[in-house]
Amino acid sequence: MADTAKPKTGTARSSGTRRRGRRDTAAGLAGETPDVLLDYYRQMLFIRRFEERTAQAYTQARIGGYCHLNLGEEATVVGLMTALQQRDYLFTNYRDHGYAIGKGMDPKRVMAELYGRSDGVSRGWGGSMHMYDTETRMLGGYGIVGGQLPLATGAALAISYRGGDEVVMCQMGDGTTNIGAWHESLNIAKLWNLPIVFVVINNFTGMGTTVDMSSAEPELYKRGSAFRIEGERVDGRDVLAVRDTAARLVERAREEQTPFLLEAWSHRMKGHSVVDPAKYRTDEQKDEARSEENDPIALFGARLSEAGILTDELRDELAASVKEEVAEAADFAENSPHPDVSTLFDYTYATPVPNESRRMPADPVFAE
């Protein structure tokens, strides 16, 4: 069930979310099979450990460039990806590792991409922010804030033009709702009745500024009303709530050929990126974001344990298998070759371009 109550901000928000975190326990599991629930738990745990290993590799200089993690967002990632059909398309922002894995990319190749190796999903040239795979229909990772919105809207237009039954999901952070591409894309999507679901991940802080301080309408799911786009809010810590709400909107977008807006709220456990110490947060706010009351894995694990589905022994088995699989992904990335310098310009253009410059550093400006 979607959570339409507004999450409070600051100290008040902390106490409010803590009460909600303690409320659910085993409730809401009726009709769910244990295998499916355990699979969701394992997926969430895998993303958590994968991202932690990514942070470790970054500090070891095995990963370069910008790097943003899904820590605290695992339930949202799994819920959203479960809601999509295999034929549906996904566009994300730069916080894309978990989504890439959830959409079906091989975690080994995702880690290799983070390492900048040729076995990566983008041959090592994309890195953390530019996961891309046409086979799984995950069409980016975009480093520019809001850069994915016009492209996702264009993909939905292509589907509509062809008369297809696919749906586009376009994920973004809360800060994206304040830029021009947001207004332009939502306006076109509704004006032309396109099958797209815009998903705003609200972790209450756009980089270092709170949503309340940067948005005149902090209840972000309401911001589609200017374009007559129906919006809903869901507790992003609850994988089942996210799955059910997203699946319903995705299917409505598919059947009704119209856009929808979904806001999923959760807490970002770390800074904006791996190099951000988050000094704009108090120690109390940092502890609150990392607490069990707001940890989606701890919350879901408690529900499964209380329902007798997740025993201590099974929890240990899952933890061990996830640790081993993440280690295998890291080993695969470590042993993958670096891209050859000669391939530097291979993907500059999709098709050959006359007079394309392929000049390397130190090459003469004009050929002899």
pLDDT over threshold 80, residue 136: yes
Does residue 59 belong to any structural domain of this protein? Answer: yes
Does 342 fall in a domain?
A: no
Number of domains in the chain: 1
pLDDT at 272: 92
CB 56 within 8 A of CB 113: no
* Pairing, β 205-206 against β 209-210: antiparallel
Nearest CA to 138 out of 96, 101, 103 is that of: 103
Q: Can you tell me the mean pLDDT for 17-29?
A: 48
pLDDT beyond 50 at 94: yes
SS3 for 67-112 is CCCCCCCHHHHHHHHHHCCCCCEEECCCCCHHHHHHCCCCHHHHHH
d(CA 170, CA 185): 11
The span from the CA of 4 to the CA of 367, in Å, is 64
pLDDT band at 26 (very low <50, low <70, confident <90, very high): low
Question: Is residue 124 domain-resident?
Answer: yes
Q: What is the mean pLDDT of residues 207-225?
A: 92
Higher pLDDT residue, 29 or 315? 315
**What is the radius of gyration, based on Cα positions, of the chain?**
21
Return the pLDDT at 359: 84
Of 13-17, 19-23, 99-103, 361-365, least confident by mean pLDDT is 13-17
pLDDT of residue 358: 84
User: Is 125 exposed, middle or buried, given 0-12, 13-18 or 19+ CB atoms closer than 10 A?
Assistant: middle
Q: Please determine, for residue 237, whether its predicted confidence score (pLDDT) is greater than 60.
A: yes
Flag whether 367 is in a domain: no
- In this predicted structure, the answer to whether residue 109 has a pLDDT above a threshold of 80 is yes
Residue 16 covered by a domain: no
Compute the mean pLDDT over every residue in the chain, rounded to the nearest whole number.
91
Asked whether the predicted pLDDT for residue 40 surpasses 70, the reply is yes
Please report the pLDDT score of residue 143 as a whole number: 95
Q: For residue 285, what pLDDT band results from cuts at 50, 70 and 90?
A: confident
Rounded to 5, what percent of the chain is helix, strand, coil?
Answer: 45, 10, 45
Domain span at residue 116 reads 30-337
CATH of the domain at 114: 3.40.50.970
pLDDT given for residue 368 in this prediction: 57
Does residue 22 fall inside a structural domain?
no
269 part of a folded domain: yes
pLDDT band at 16 (very low <50, low <70, confident <90, very high): very low
To the nearest whole percent, how much of the chain has pLDDT over 70? 92
Instruction: Look up the pTM and report it.
Output: 0.89
pLDDT at 341 over 90: no
- Using the predicted structure, report yes or no on whether residue 317 has a pLDDT greater than 90: yes
For residue 47, tell me if it sits in a domain. yes
> To which residue do tokens 């947001």 refer?
182
Which of these ranges, 4-18, 159-173, 238-252, 319-333, has the smallest mean pLDDT?
Answer: 4-18
* Amino acid 187: pLDDT: 98
Output the pLDDT for position 103: 97
Distance CA 175, CA 159 (A): 28
